[in-house]
Structure 1
Amino acid sequence: MDMDIDDGVLLPYTYLKNNTSGKGFRNKLLDYFNLFYKVDDNKLEIIKEFIDILHTSSLIIDDIEDNGEFRRGKLCAHKIYGIGSTINAGNLMYFKAWELLMKLESDNNNNNGNELNKIFVNSMIKLHIGQGKEIYWRNNKICPSEEEYLEMVIGKTSELFKLCVLILSCISDDDTRDKDNIDEKLIKFSEKLGIIYQIRNDIKDIRDDYENGNYSYPIIYCIREKCMKMESNDKEIEDKIRELGGIRHSEEKIISLMGEKGKREFENKFENDFLQLLM
């Protein structure tokens, strides 16, 4: 992407971008969605870059808000470059993503730029509300119910997947599709996918979440159903949560959301790659 920006300003962003994975998963997801919308390859590549920038930028800001030390075994960007520079880089890239969206608007013949802007703003609001709920619960030591947590996840995690659907739908020139029906089904799918994705990460990040005071899905189960206390110095928290059934409960939730039919469809569509990237 062409940028008239000094490289030093973007160091926190490029550092995190070069040290995180997941782009393959998001690109495959967009390829899957585009089977229904038939957007041309050039526009699809712009959308892929747009989503990748939003995702990476959100991780930069999340790590600061969560007072994170490490991300997947490497120091968080703000621990290297400082909070001020890292916040600035993350926020700057939100606007660079928006700039890409405007390029998509100028390249499109449907004159729907105003609709694209509405979609972007609404999604960003939902993403920040979802993140805000998680921060509020942590700061005030409020353990949410599972239902409240899943509602938060739909805003915080599923919304980026839903944004893919909404943008593709907005710019698609394919008049043969059943637009409303396809949109509705893929948005519901995106909500489920976001929950699966988040709970999977919750299982991986039990120790970090516990030590930072975050109420993740397995932790919520153990607190609400097994009366577990949040004690940050618990050295064997992963074993404890496993013994109390928190991990198994989380795995069962993932399985219930996937279902055998959905699992078979993924396997057939992408020859196992898509499912493996998710799980």
Structure 2
Amino acid sequence: MNNIDLDFKKKLTKVDDSLIGLDELSSLLGSEISKFCSEELNEVIFKPIQKFSNKSSNLFRARLVALSISLCSDKTLVFTKQYQKEMSVRFSNLLEALHGGSLIIDDIQDGALTRRGKPSLHTEIGVPLAINSGNWLYFWALSLIEKMELEPRIELAVNRLCHQAMIKGHFGQALDLGVRVDELSQDRARELSISALKLKTGALMSLATELGAVACGVHPEVREALKNFGLNFGYALQSFNDLGEYSLKNDQISQDLLLGRPTWIWICAGEYFSASEYLKFQKQVSVLVKAKTNVQKELMLDLKNHPLIEFSKAQAKKLMSETFDQLSSHLLKFDYELNQRTDWKELQQLAQKVMGAYG
């Protein structure tokens, strides 16, 4: 995995002239204005996006793409090792661009001032330009597909998968922004939170694992298994991400809690508490939300030490374990000797990195 990671860090999350294709501007804009436009576009789109894309990233989606292709390719003998790497980088660039665009827009909608420890893009170039840059990344990502030289049927399938993932992601974002789960009933809050997490994070991870299956033309059951694995891997990843706000190492008040966002905590609260206990928990959260900052910090610390948090951590680990068990049971039907496969071990290591990355 280290060799793959090194290759990704050289080739991914880097937006430059060769990827964007400034040389194509003459045909798009007209030769008489392309030079001027390229200089201006470089300042108002390309440089800001390049700076944003060079911020630290765990590249979880990129790694999932590479491992999915590795798992699929030897069953179909479609790819040489070199071609595996090339397709991994191409698909990963596609995913990282889609994800990058979503992060830029997400930060604006959340009013977030930082991203990965550095200023959010909209705080540096302004909201209007940041919106344009985030939206541009969506379309640029899709434009990469036609440059991959895929078979027409595969190119069509990849385009459709990307559009479906983006539609699901926007549904998830609508739930995230538009509904206060702390005001819903116990069952509704739990079910809506599950849907929001799967639509927002699960859909893009599902795209990461299904792309390799589509490109390799594996058995439909293997493709479906990888698709579901990515969905639940993303769901599990988001659960650990959410739990990071409840770590004792984190002295901040959970913004998701203050904003009533659907998160893993509400999913687990729906399982952990009885009906009467849940109503009490809702009232405690309501008090926290309305309190002054100094009181909020005290109440947040109490919540971080509540048994609910340990229960939530255990449930997140259980979810990740079940996600691997489900994929394993499907792959074994097709004679995958998983215990002897390096890519399977690397996939398990990736899960460990996810679980250790937050908190």
How would you bin the TM-score normalised by the shorter chain? 0.7 to 0.9
Which of 161, 182, 191 is the matching residue for 2:205?
A: 161
Contact 1:162 1:187 in 2 (8 A): yes
The one-letter amino acid of 1:274's match is L
Q: Deviations over 1:22-74 (max 9, x none)?
A: 22x32322222112322533222110111111111111111111121222332
Residue 37 of structure 1: aligned partner:
72
CA contact (8 A) 2:190 2:266 kept: no
Q: Distance in 1 between matches of 2:181 and 2:348?
A: 40
Greater CA drift, 234-243 or 254-263: 254-263
Structure 2 length as normaliser, TM-score? 0.67
Gaps of 5+ in 1: none
Question: What are the within-5 Å matches in structure 2 for residues 47-66 of structure 1?
Answer: 47-66=91-110
Candidates 97, 109, 113, aligned match of 1:69:
113
The runs of at least 4 aligned residues of structure 1 exceeding 6 Å deviation read 263-268
State the distance in 2 between where 1:189 and 1:271 align.
11
Matched with 1:218 is: 265
Hey, what does 1:203 align to over in structure 2?
Answer: 243
Alignment length (residue pairs): 272
1:186 equivalent among 199, 222, 226: 226
Q: Tell me if structure 2 keeps the 8 A contact 1:102–1:113.
A: yes
Structure 1 counterpart of 2:301: 239
Corresponding position of 2:351: 275
Offset at residue 270 of structure 1 (A) = 2.0
- Alpha-carbon shift at residue 197 of structure 1 (Å): 0.7
Q: Is the 8 A contact 1:267 1:273 kept in 2?
A: no
Opposite residue 20 of structure 1, the aligned amino acid is S
Check 1:113–1:221 CA distance in 2 against 1; reply closer, same or farther (3 A cut).
closer
Query: In structure 1, what is the Cα distance between the partners aligned to 2:46 and 2:221?
Result: 41
Q: Note if 1:90 corresponds to 2:150.
A: no
Are 2:166 and 1:124 equivalent residues in the alignment? yes
**Residues 194 and 267, structure 2, Cα contact 8 Å, conserved in 1:** no
CA deviation map 1:166-202 (0-9, x unaligned): 32232225xxx4x111112112211221111111111
Unaligned runs of at least 5 residues, structure 2: 1-18, 23-37, 74-78, 247-253, 326-337
Partner Cα separation in structure 1 for residue 236 and residue 48 of structure 2: 29
CA RMSD of aligned residues (A): 2.9
Larger Rg: 2
Cα drift, residue 220 of structure 1: 5.9
TM-score by length of 1: 0.85
Which of 123, 134, 148 matches 2:192? 148
Please name the residue that 2:42 is paired with.
Answer: 7
- Cα deviation for residue 135 of structure 1 reads 0.6
Q: Could you tell me how far apart the structure 2 residues matched to 1:216 and 1:198 are?
A: 8
Q: Distance in 2 between matches of 1:261 and 1:198?
A: 14
